[in-house]
Amino acid sequence: MYTRGSGREEQASPLVVCFVAEPGRTLEGTENRPGIAVDLGIPGASAVYHDGLWMFTGPDGDRYWAPNAHSVTVNAPGGTYALRAPRDVGADELVKVARSLPELVSS
């Protein structure tokens, strides 16, 4: 998890990177929601961008699609990793960070 500072606001909206050594997983909060394919230019890696995430409204499981964060989920030979960030981090920056990670999970 990366934050731009130590204040309450920065801690509440970090850049989060998750990894699991299982290819083909889905980032929780984006399941059953189509995304936009992203070409990372890395052989063997596929990626999808989601402009939002599912938010739950209560214990009954009702949810809605919220635009307060966005994510990139990458499937690579070594596993699946995902990046989630607040909206003030641009989509291009999110993709730039995603491009830097597949070599880490494939080695």
Q: Which domain holds residue 25?
A: 8-106
| In-domain check, residue 100 | yes
Give the per-residue pLDDT at 102: 60
Give the per-residue pLDDT at 100: 86
Give the per-residue pLDDT at 104: 54
Name the domain count of the chain. 1
| In-domain check, residue 41 | yes
| In-domain check, residue 2 | no
| In-domain check, residue 97 | yes
Contact 70, 91 (CB under 8 A): yes
Give the per-residue pLDDT at 38: 95
Contact 42, 99 (CB under 8 A): yes
| In-domain check, residue 3 | no
Distances (CA, A) of 44 to 47, 65, 76, 94, 95: 10, 30, 6, 19, 16
Give the per-residue pLDDT at 92: 92
Reading the chain (107 residues) residue by residue, the pLDDT tens digits are 444 555 555 545 568 888 888 888 887 778 888 899 999 988 888 999 999 887 777 777 787 778 888 999 999 888 898 999 988 888 999 999 899 886 555 54
Give the per-residue pLDDT at 22: 86
| In-domain check, residue 28 | yes
Give the per-residue pLDDT at 107: 46
